[in-house]
Amino acid sequence: MSKPLILVTNDDGITAPGLRTLIDVMRQLGDVFVVAPDSPQSSMGHAITLDSTLYSKKIRTAAESADVEEYSCSGTPADCVKLALQELLPRRPDICVSGINHGSNSSINVIYSGTMSAAVEAGIEGIPAIGFSLCDYNWEADFEPSRPFVKTIVSEALLHGIPNDVVLNVNIPKVAEGKIKGIKVCRQAKANWKEKFDKRTNPMGRDYYWLTGVFELLDKGEDTDEWALSQGYVSVVPTQFDLTAYHAIQDVNNWNFNER
Amino acid sequence: MSKPLILVTNDDGITAPGLRTLIDVMRQLGDVFVVAPDSPQSSMGHAITLDSTLYSKKIRTAAESADVEEYSCSGTPADCVKLALQELLPRRPDICVSGINHGSNSSINVIYSGTMSAAVEAGIEGIPAIGFSLCDYNWEADFEPSRPFVKTIVSEALLHGIPNDVVLNVNIPKVAEGKIKGIKVCRQAKANWKEKFDKRTNPMGRDYYWLTGVFELLDKGEDTDEWALSQGYVSVVPTQFDLTAYHAIQDVNNWNFNER
């Protein structure tokens, strides 16, 4: 039986240590094909490049070998997946994995996540897809404790498949090796960011802002990703791109649309 | 009773005719406060600006009057909403409307939509929010037929409120004045884009790509937004930002997470 073909991407860019870890773990499971942004694309959401050009470059690395091919791309994470599927891959991949992101994509962060947008893009194309994130924004974050969990989850996804029109959002707590308690399948916790704009004046005298904020959890449920992470578990949230709020259709149907 | 305060934004930028139409209609319903991108931000998805600075500028227009205030912002649509809510607005708005977008945001397009990301951002903050899009990409699109429907939908939303954690995705068919048949509450149709990359060579001899594609509808349901639009109706899809695929939790819970 031929080895699975695994498409690997991320949003922190081709040089990110989290991507390097993911490539390394995926080489244990199949042939690895990397298409990742040539520069960091964090908090890009599901942006795509329509009004400008896309470049892609075959990357030579010291680690290059028969089972890994690597390309960089000038676009967003979603662009990387589109370009990989249409132009670069030799055949349809068996799975697409994105990450490991430097920083959490749990709870409402999924909405802003370039890591997850790459996974969603693959999911829209009918390819099983998983986004991985470590809850540590540091570039020198320790990805070692993540390895066995990433391997288990991708192995199981290759074995069972992922339900149609669903992609997995996996977050890994920032705890020392051996301290992760296990894996929990969760729902997305309700939360938002309490924004604070740091207003400054530039050398030319013009005001500008930096966006900063504090994460505000609005959900005490013990079935949420935030709860699992706080207890030292890896969280797995099945995530969909049918955004219809079915429960609200009936409500809005009672509005009076005939008055104008 | 004081007039409602209406936050208006978009993703095509502060000069877009679709925004001008929306401002004009909203002035019939309340006090209007505009914070829109200073340049087009289409297909930005839910991007936010974390690694660079944001500028905002109070805009003077010929139409400026007591009931309209306008700012431009150097960021994405989601940035505009965050900046408006935290820094620019005199008080919490009663509703946020985004658009009218030049081009469809029905079906899977909602995922890539800057127009909807602005509405979702307001929704996350607990503010009733609606994204409006006209299924015509032309900058000179005719927004006249949209006016009464935009007014009706916003009036009803102000009257009834919008269910918690739900924002409305409204798409308007490209048909002549008087030919729109009415308003239908729908679910998001399943579809994707069949991408095609147009590969070219730049004057320096390097290959680059333009992303193009064809919309592929994968859903014959007559309860979808695509069906409603094809029949000449305005589509209203209640849209959520809890992306959990609840139906898939049980399935993934049956995976074996203990093997490593």
How much of chain A is in helix, strand and coil states, percent to nearest 5? 25, 30, 40
Chain B: nearest CA to A170, how far in angstroms?
12
Q: Does residue B173 fall inside a structural domain?
A: yes
For residue B226, give its domain range.
5-189+222-242
Size of interface A-B (CB pairs under 8 A): 243
Q: Does residue A260 fall inside a structural domain?
A: no
B189 contact A CB<8A:
no
Candidates B11, B38, B46, partner chain A, best to mutate (most A CBs within 10 A)? B46
Q: How confident is the model at residue A62 (pLDDT cuts 50, 70, 90)?
A: very low
A82 contact B CB<8A:
yes
Q: Which of A89-93, A251-255, B53-57, B59-63 is the least confident region?
A: B59-63
Q: Does residue B94 fall inside a structural domain?
A: yes
Q: Does residue B210 fall inside a structural domain?
A: no
Cβ pair B209:A53 closer than 8 A? yes
The CATH number of the domain holding residue A55 is 3.40.1210.10
A33 has which bridge partners? A7, A69
Dump pLDDT digits (tens) for A231-244. 999 999 999 999 99
Alpha-carbon distances, residue B72 vs B8, B36, B52, B69, B92 (angstroms): 11, 5, 17, 11, 19
- What is the phi/psi pair of residue A136, to 5°? -155, 110
Number of H helices, E strands in chain A: 6, 11
Dump pLDDT digits (tens) for A75-109. 999 999 999 999 999 999 999 999 999 999 999 99
Cβ pair B111:A246 closer than 8 A? no
Q: Which residues contact A174 (CB under 8 A, 6 or more apart)?
A: A134, A135, A136, A141
- Residue among A111, A188, A195 whose CB faces B82 most closely: A195
B2 contact A CB<8A:
no
Please give the share of chain A, as a percent, with pLDDT higher than 70: 97
Q: Does residue A94 fall inside a structural domain?
A: yes
Q: Which residues 6-35 on chain A approach chain B with CB closer than 8 angstroms?
A: none
Q: Which residues contact A145 (CB under 8 A, 6 or more apart)?
A: A172, A175, A176, A177, A178, A179, A180
Cβ pair A45:B46 closer than 8 A? yes
Sign of CA dihedral B98, B103, B106, B107: negative
Q: Which of A22-26, A153-157, B48-52, B146-150 is the least confident region?
A: B48-52
Per DSSP, the three-state class of A205 is coil
Per DSSP, the three-state class of A26 is helix
Cβ pair B45:A50 closer than 8 A? no
Q: Which amino acid is at B193?
A: W
> Is residue A188's pLDDT more than 50?
yes
> Is residue A260's pLDDT more than 60?
no
A108 contact B CB<8A:
yes
Dig out the tokens for A30 from the structure.
Answer: 């199949």
Q: Compute chain A's Rg from CA coordinates.
A: 20
Q: Which residues 153-172 on chain B approach chain A with CB closer than 8 angstroms?
A: 153, 155-157, 159-160, 162-163, 165-166, 168-169
> Is residue B89's pLDDT more than 60?
yes
**Distance between the two ends of chain B, CA-based, in angstroms?**
65
Residue of A nearest to B85 (CA): A195
Q: Does residue B197 fall inside a structural domain?
A: no
The predicted structure's pLDDT at residue B60 = 63
- Residues of chain B with Cβ-Cβ distance to A244 below 8 Å are 187-188, 237-240
Sign of CA dihedral B116, B118, B119, B123: positive
Number of domains composing chain B: 1
- What is the phi/psi pair of residue A71, to 5°? -125, 145
Mean pLDDT of A61-65: 59
Dump pLDDT digits (tens) for A36-48. 999 888 777 778 8
Q: Does residue A163 fall inside a structural domain?
A: yes
- Residues of chain A with Cβ-Cβ distance to B42 below 8 Å are 50-51
Would you say A144 and B249 are in contact if contact means Cβ atoms under 8 Å apart?
A: no
Q: What is the pTM of this model?
A: 0.93
Q: Does residue A45 fall inside a structural domain?
A: yes
Helix-helix angle A17-26:A147-160, to 10 degrees: 50
The CA distance from B123 to A126, in Å, is: 29
Residue of B nearest to A181 (CA): B258
Mean pLDDT of B25-51: 87
Q: Which of A248-257, B66-75, B135-144 is the least confident region?
A: B66-75
> Is residue A110's pLDDT more than 60?
yes
